[in-house]
Structure 1
Amino acid sequence: MRRTIVMTGATRGIGRVAAEYILRRSPDVHLVVVARGSSGARLAVELGAGGHAVSYVPADLGSLQSVCSAAAEIRNRLEAGELPPLRGFVGNAGVQYTNALTESPDGFESTFAVNVLAHHLFVRLLQDRFIAPSRIVITASDTHFGDFKHNLGMVPGPVWKSPDVLARTGAFPKPQSTAAGRTAYSTSKLAAIYLVHEYARRLPAGVDAIAYNPGFVPGTGLARNADAVSRFAMRRVLPLLTLTPFATSRDFAGRCLADVALGTVRAQTGSYVDRDRSARSSEESYDARREGELWEAAERFTRDIRCQGGSVLG
């Protein structure tokens, strides 16, 4: 059964491993990678080696207008029959800044814009094109627990506030600091879980939504905005932790992400999958009031984004 899976964050790290594994495991998949222009074109060529069906759609996930244009292109290709039926979306892209002051072109704090709003907009603009059974996977993080057990004290825990505050720069104390940037990251991952719970409630039957936690994976590109010492530690020192239970190797985390996307890992819609099995996320992540509040805010933030062809998210 031929099918399309759309994926963000496939350029490097666990996303690259997952993309390669998806194509090896399921030759019936046409993988559409969403990435910046030149890197997307190169990625599609590399992943397509050996006859795999891969194409790309250019997008800057920091710009909601760019996301809208990318979703419109995917819709057009599906409607024209250029792509097989849409049965999967993997929102794996994520950013972490060294401050909480970086602003997106749309005026949102950039961590929130990419890690929360970009994927929400993709899901909403494509949701009527999914053919059941389908699976939407959003990469979360165990930093949302906010305790030493889950992140070795390297990332502050989330600090939840009104989405109208979280969506703007300066939401956390000392917003110019690395700690504020990392707090924005962990908080955005808590927000992603909240939205997955809302998708489970709101999406049509047979279109499942899963939050995937890869664990702590050193050696990825997540620290690319950090200082030189931190980047060196992530690349050269912290990967040694994969020899212990405290960290996950990039290959294992990527293969697990692929298995979740392909449905190999059994999980009900709304589940939190910790690497290769369903688990319970933090107690804080089960808050129906916050989930509804975030859904309404995300809808409001994206409602007036005008897409290619004049369509508007309703």
Structure 2
Amino acid sequence: MNHTIVMTGASRGIGRVAAEHILRRSPDAHLRVVARGSSGARLVAELGAGGHRVSYVAADLGSLESVGSAAIGIRDRLDRGELPPLRGFVGNAGIQYTNALTEGPEGFESTFAVNVLANHLFVRLLRDRFAAPARIVITVSDTHFGDFRHNLGMVPGPVWRSPDVLARTGAFPEPHTTAAGRTAYSTSKLAALCLVHEYARRLPAGIDAVAYNPGFVPGTGLARNADPVSRFAMRRVLPALTLTPFATGRSAAGRCLADVVLGTTRAPTGSYVDRARVARSSRESYDPQREAELWAAAEQFTEAHAVRTDAR
């Protein structure tokens, strides 16, 4: 049956591999990619080669105003029948900064804005347009465990604060440092996982929400804001770790993401999928009170953009 899958983070890394798998293995899918600027047209041309159905909507994921406009544009096309029924959303895009002081246009700390609030606004504005059975997949990270086994000592573990604090710059000690930027990253991924648990409680039956952890995947664009030495290591040195259990190759991680999106990996709503299997996330990630507080805060933070954009 013809259907639409909306996807962020499809232009590079594991997202690009996953998009290619989705289109090849699900010929009935229309992939609606969210891309920044002029890259969308190029991405559509590349992914659409061979007759695959791909289109794009432009958005800057660091701007809630831009995300809201993109989501409403998708809703309008679904309502007009220009896109087949919506059966998937893949929030794969992610960002990591070298500080915890980078601020987006609406005043939110940029790591939190991209990794948490952008996904939430898409889910919020599209939730009434999903046609069951549907699946929401959010890419998270095993850095949320905060131990050496999961982060190899490269990323500090999450430091939870009130959502009002996490959403703003300077939430962590020495916010100008790389360590603070990486702490913002691991904490944002814990937050994304908490929201998946809350979506599983709140979304209608037949609309599943699943968190996907690709593991440590060197060679992607995640370190593009890092210093030159770190970028060199990610590109040239750390890929050797994919020969060990400590890292995942880009191709394998992308294939596993596609498996989750397409349901090849069976995962009930609220699941944490660690590469190719359902697993337990960190003990800290299971906290219903925290999850409810974060959901309420995310609703509050996105309210103005959802209402203003919907009014159009």
How many residue pairs match? The answer is 311
2:71 is matched with 71
Shift of 1:310: 1.6
SS of structure 2 residue aligned to 1:190: helix
Does the C-alpha gap of structure 1 residues 10 and 307 become closer, same or farther in structure 2, counting only changes over 3 Å?
Answer: farther
Question: In 2 relative to 1, CA 28–177 (structure 1 residues): closer, same or farther, beyond 3 Å?
Answer: same
| 1:214 to 1:112, Cα distance in 2 relative to 1, 3 A | same
SS of 2:226's partner is coil
- For residues 39 and 273 of structure 2, the distance between their equivalents in structure 1, rounded to whole angstroms, comes to 29
Looking at structure 1, the residues matched to 308 and 86 of structure 2 have their Cα atoms a distance apart, in angstroms, of 20
Counterpart-to-counterpart distance in 2, 1:149 and 1:108: 31
What secondary structure does 2:57 align onto? strand
Q: Spell out, residue by residue over 1:75-130, the C-alpha distance to the aligned partner (whole angstroms, 9 max, x if none).
A: 01101111110000000000000000000000000000000000000001000000
Which residue pairs with 1:158 in the alignment? Answer: 158
Identity of aligned residues (%): 81
Distance in 2 of aligned mates of 1:238 and 1:206: 40
Report the residue type matching 2:41 in the other structure. A
For residues 141-167 of structure 1, the C-alpha deviation after alignment (integer angstroms, 9 at most, x for no partner) is: 000000000110100000000000000
1:86/1:131 contact within 8 Å kept? yes
Which deviations, in whole Å up to 9, do the C-alpha atoms of 1:248-305 show, x marking residues without a partner?
A: 0000000000010011110100000000110000000000111011011001101111
CA distance in 2, matches of 1:2, 1:102: 41
Deviation at 1:308, TM superposition (A): 3.9
Alignment of 1:42-191 (within 5 A): 42-191=42-191
Letter in structure 1 aligned against 2:37: G
Which ranges of 4 or more aligned residues in structure 1 deviate by more than 2 Å?
Answer: 306-309
**Normalised by the size of structure 1, how large is the TM-score?**
0.98
Q: Which segments of 5 or more consecutive residues in structure 1 lack a partner in the other structure?
A: none
RMSD: 0.7
Does the Cα contact within 8 Å between 1:3 and 1:87 map onto a contact in 2?
A: yes
Which 5+ residue runs of structure 2 have no aligned equivalent? Answer: none
214-223 vs 34-43, which deviates more? 34-43
Q: CA deviation at 1:37?
A: 2.2
Superposed counterparts of 1:218-257, under 5 Å: 218-257=218-257
Taking structure 2 as the reference length, what is the TM-score of the superposition? Answer: 0.99
- Partner in structure 2 of residue 210 of structure 1: 210
C-alpha distance after superposition, 1:209-262 (max 9, x if no partner):
000000000000000000000000000000000001100000000000001001
Q: Distance in 2 between matches of 1:307 and 1:23?
A: 34
Amino acid at match of 2:111: T
1:29-72 per-residue CA deviation (whole Å, 9 max, x = no partner) reads 00000011201111011000000000000000000000000001
The equivalent of 2:311 in structure 1 is: 310
2:40 matched residue in structure 1: 40
Structure 2 letter corresponding to 1:45: A
Give the deviation of 1:309 after TM superposition: 5.5
SS state at 2:237 partner: helix
